[in-house]
Amino acid sequence: MNNPFGEKFLQELPLILAGPILQHTESDAVTVWIALKRPCEVVLQVYDTANRGELITNLLFEGRRRTFALGKFLHIVAVTAESAGSHLLSSDRIYAYDLQFIESSTQQQTLATALCSRRFPAVNISYFDHQKPTFALPPTDLQDLRIVHGSCRKPHGDGFDALPILDCLIESAANQPNKRPHQLFLTGDQIYGDDVADPLLWVSSQLGDALLGWEERLPVTQYTAADPSYYTPKQLLPGYRADIATHQAGFTAGLHNKTAKVSSHLLSLGEYYASYILSWSPACWPSSIPQGHEVMHGHRVSRRWDKEVRDMQQFTHTLWKVRRALANVPMYSIFDDHDVSDDWNLNQAWCLRVLGQPLGRRTVQNALLAYAVFQAWGNTPKQFAAGQPGERLLQAAADWSASGGMNGAVENAIARYLGMPPINPSTNLPEFVQYDAVLVLDRAPEALTWHYTIRSFCHEVIVLDTRTWRGYPADQKPIAPPMLLSPPAFSQQLSQPLEQVNHKPKGRSQLQATFVIAPTNLFGLEVIDWIHHWHLKRDKVYGVDVGDAWNINYEALAKFLTTLFEQRRQVIVLSGDIHYSSVVRLTYTRKSLGSEKKSVLVQLTASAFKNEEKITEIIHTRLKQWLLPEKNRQWIGWNNPPYMLEISSKKSYRKSLSHRPPEWHGLMEWVHRKITKTAEFGHNISWLMTAEQHARNLKWELFQYLTFWKLPWFQDGREVIGLNNLALVHFEIDNNNSSKVIQDLYWFSTWYPIEIVYSRFESELSHSRLSI
């Protein structure tokens, strides 16, 4: 079979492989990330507009930066344009930006020309005639704030990709600065390192090598002298990686008879790089993918290959809308496990099993390096400024590529900057440091931090890293559930941001809302909690992610709640991970010196963008509320030491009082969704389906009334959204200053004709605005 990613393919690629993606954006600085085919100096210019965004006017900011050569045909930069002090961006205007690409003193390209090629003669990333991408800063009034969030986007997952709905949201209000989305938060699993479709690995592996210009030598353990010491990605074929991923790399996704989850696991740096590009841009997808019988041996696996190809063709069909959306709203993100591999750092046993293997360690490092370049750089651009650890990491990544992956000193430098734990030379196992009663993976002082805080005119967002700062119980078995934030992580990631003096931008109003991004949810379905505890008692922790939910470790959850409510009366937690969406409200009452202090936490969960499953499709319907409705749950807790205990009856409550009186009480309630409505842009969605998908739907349209479970009435469950969805968060404040947070969850209807619909969840906060 001819190589589809040869010289001809590379020549036909546009200069811009992925992006532009608008990232960290403040009143005095704007950052745009972009991936290019050739090295350039990239110039970013930010403009004011008039006539509600229609006319480009004054140049406000300008910045420039050279790309870093991460491969022969992969050059990446996140360029920041900053204020010189004479002007700050305000919250009630639409701004535009432009890019220029200077390849030499005589050769440069505009944004319009850099996007296009023979395969892509016309690329539109704007909502206006001037063809420039635009954005609006968050408002000064909480009622006007619009935040979008979601998680878990697997290209071959079931159902339509929900992320393109973001493009519809922006397009419908592009000329209204207080109505269009102001920030996008991706809360985990932006790509999947495990559970990769065979044809997607086929594309990623070859594209990755083509962009790098070299083949990585992936280290493996030699058990006999005849065993190979390394494999290249092309030697590890799609569908045949289960054994090496499980036994040589140590990954746990393939345990418990789930080898299909790792049979096409990403391993090489090029594969992780390529996965991001393929998730965000249509530019590098090949024009055709071979049929299953040309690649796979066996009828069953060949049929599965062809089905996954159709799924990915549907995915790529709407990528143009994803690309346009990401260019027009500031995007922030944080990893969860699948950005590396399922169960990443789940417990101490996982760390010892994977990081103690040369291939496991290399793969985790490859995934983290890809995350640093494709996500973290835009989240925290100051970490990657000149002279900072991030810039040194970028240079080391360029040197690693220039050496063809052969420079051991550079590899070690990358590990230090990424925070990979050192390996004990005596045991060949990762090093831990003990804090109080827990063990934490060791890291170098110059390592990057993945957590960060965003502060705007009326709200703050504290983004947590619950993967690399876990606290593993030192006095329990290695599979014991960890604290998702170890003691030093609680201080650095939560206590310090909450206590910081507000650095108010000019004209900033009073802080009115605090958001916390927790990739793994605090509270979930009660039956899931029961399953987790059942599996934990039987030491089967990997199959159902025992230890990833906060409420499997009550000490950590109690500390999380008390830390938050010491500083804030209202908190909104955004989370994902669990492949369904919901809203729960926790009322926290603390008793002190005969008085009561009430606080409120609302958890807004949004998952998945594209990964619905049969079980989530069932709990989405009325069947869930009929057979297994969620009930209110109550906890009592103590502050020193932090702990909490669930009480299910008056008897258990009185029994708990026999030890010592509780210091606080928590009541969790499930918020029910309103009747499903059609979005104002939801009727005409001809862009959604490929011709093949449309023909298949027409074929079954006549039978829709025989499938009652797909009809609107049955799909109107009360508690969760179990189909692929995207969340829009906004607020209502009445004349009495009482505030309400609203999560509108957009999804594709199951009935005909297919529409974009939304389900609304409303939760009261308190009767007064938050005062910090």
What pLDDT was estimated at residue 243? 96
What does each C-alpha distance from 467 to 378, 514, 538, 548, 576 come to in angstroms? 19, 22, 24, 9, 14
Predicted confidence (pLDDT) per residue in 141-161, tens digit? 999 999 999 999 999 999 999
- In 3D, which of 578, 576, 606 has the Cα closest to residue 761? 606
Predicted confidence (pLDDT) per residue in 424-464, tens digit? 999 999 999 999 899 999 999 999 999 999 999 999 999 99
Tokens of 151: 């998680």
What pLDDT was estimated at residue 691? 84
What pLDDT was estimated at residue 487? 96
326 or 104: whose pLDDT is higher? 326
- Contacts of 140 by beta carbon, 8 Å cutoff, 6+ apart: 91, 92, 457, 458, 507, 508, 509
What pLDDT was estimated at residue 654? 58
Q: In what order do the strands lie in the sheet with 725-733?
A: 331-333, 183-186, 147-150, 725-733, 739-748, 756-764, 677-678
Helix axes 299-317, 198-212, angle to 10 degrees: 60
Beta strand ranges found along 4-141 (DSSP E): 16-25, 29-36, 41-50, 55-66, 68-71, 74-82, 95-102, 108-110, 134-135
Asked if residue 534 is part of any domain, the answer here is: yes
Predicted confidence (pLDDT) per residue in 608-650, tens digit? 999 999 999 999 999 998 999 999 999 999 998 999 999 985 5
Residue 482: strand, helix, or coil: coil
Asked if residue 590 is part of any domain, the answer here is: yes
Query: Could you check whether the bond before residue 372 is cis, i.e. omega within 30 degrees of 0?
Result: no
- pLDDT-based confidence at 543, cuts 50/70/90? confident
Asked if residue 298 is part of any domain, the answer here is: no
What pLDDT was estimated at residue 338? 97
- Greatest distance between any 2 Cα atoms in the chain: 82
With a cut of 60, say whether residue 767 has pLDDT above it: no
What pLDDT was estimated at residue 637? 94
Helix axes 269-280, 198-212, angle to 10 degrees: 110
**Distance from C-alpha of 770 to C-alpha of 298, rounded to nearest angstrom:** 62
What pLDDT was estimated at residue 232? 97
For residue 752, the enclosing domain spans: 153-173+450-633+668-772
Asked if residue 300 is part of any domain, the answer here is: no
Give counts: helices (H), strands (E), the chain.
23, 30
Predicted confidence (pLDDT) per residue in 396-405, tens digit? 999 999 999 9
Residue 756: strand, helix, or coil: strand
- pLDDT-based confidence at 506, cuts 50/70/90? very low
DSSP letters spanning 325-372:
HHTSS-EEE---GGGT-TTTT-SHHHHHHHHTSHHHHHHHHHHHHHHI
Query: Could you check whether the bond before residue 753 is cis, i.e. omega within 30 degrees of 0?
Result: yes
- pLDDT-based confidence at 702, cuts 50/70/90? low
Asked if residue 382 is part of any domain, the answer here is: no
Average pLDDT over residues 523-544: 89
With a cut of 80, say whether residue 120 has pLDDT above it: yes
- What value does the mean pLDDT of the chain take? 93
**Distance from C-alpha of 261 to C-alpha of 697, rounded to nearest angstrom:** 29
- Contacts of 47 by beta carbon, 8 Å cutoff, 6+ apart: 56, 57, 58, 59, 60, 95, 96, 97, 98, 132
Instruction: Point out which residues pair with 230 in neighbouring strands.
Output: 219
With a cut of 80, say whether residue 589 has pLDDT above it: yes
Residue 278: strand, helix, or coil: helix
Predicted confidence (pLDDT) per residue in 202-233, tens digit? 999 999 999 999 999 999 998 888 888 999 99
Predicted confidence (pLDDT) per residue in 358-371, tens digit? 999 999 999 999 99
Number of other residues whose CB lies within 10 A of the CB of residue 555:
17
- What does residue 473 show for φ and ψ, rounded to 5 degrees? -55, 125
Global pTM? 0.96
Answer whether 606's CB lies under 8 Å from 636's CB.
no
When divided into structural domains, the chain yields a total of 1
Dihedral of CA atoms 738, 185, 126, 48 in degrees, nearest 10, equals 60
Which three-class secondary structure string do you get for 577-628? Answer: CCCCEEEEEEEEEEEECCEEEEEEEEEEECCCCECECHHHHHHCCHHHHHHC
Number of other residues whose CB lies within 10 A of the CB of residue 51:
10
What pLDDT was estimated at residue 502? 47
Average pLDDT over residues 49-58: 96
What pLDDT was estimated at residue 86? 75
- pLDDT-based confidence at 1, cuts 50/70/90? low
With a cut of 70, say whether residue 674 has pLDDT above it: yes
Predicted confidence (pLDDT) per residue in 285-320, tens digit? 999 999 999 998 888 999 999 999 999 999 999 999
Asked if residue 301 is part of any domain, the answer here is: no
Predicted confidence (pLDDT) per residue in 328-384, tens digit? 999 999 999 999 999 999 999 999 999 999 999 999 999 999 999 999 999 999 999
Asked if residue 726 is part of any domain, the answer here is: yes
What pLDDT was estimated at residue 656? 58
Answer whether 33's CB lies under 8 Å from 378's CB.
yes
Dihedral of CA atoms 466, 467, 469, 472 in degrees, nearest 10, equals 100
- What does residue 674 show for φ and ψ, rounded to 5 degrees? -80, 175
Asked if residue 75 is part of any domain, the answer here is: no
- pLDDT-based confidence at 509, cuts 50/70/90? low
Cα 402 to its chain centre, rounded Å, is 30
What percent of the chain is predicted at pLDDT more than 70? 95
